[in-house]
Structure 1
Amino acid sequence: MTNYKTADLDLKCIRSDEILPKTISSETLLGRGKQMFITHDGHTYQLRITKLGKLILTK
């Protein structure tokens, strides 16, 4: 027997506005490096730190 009330509650929790996006430091992502490549949907992106210390994501 399936408990539909429990399933409905689980879906509400998954879609809840209270679930925040993950936060991660650039140092954790990049380590000692100044750039990394990220693949998404068949495309490669470059995340890098500029000379002024800003982050830039380019395709």
Structure 2
Amino acid sequence: MELIGAIWRKSTRSGNGECVEVADNLTGVVGVRDSKDPTGPILTFTPQTWRTFIAHTKRH
């Protein structure tokens, strides 16, 4: 899936630059990809699913 207009960002805690990138600037979809393989596969989530994942991750 190609996400036209996606603005990819990495965590500020990414020390060596090898991590996941997130594009959350699009309507109705959040993209996640491997920063080492930007032309590789992209996982997509609904914004609500992504918010739930982030909230759960922050609690644990």
> Normalised by the size of structure 2, how large is the TM-score?
0.31
For normalisation by structure 1, the TM-score amounts to 0.31
Indicate the structure with greater helix content: 1
* Structure having greater relative contact order (Cα 8 Å, sep ≥ 6): 2
Query: Larger Cα Rg: Structure 1 or Structure 2?
Result: 1
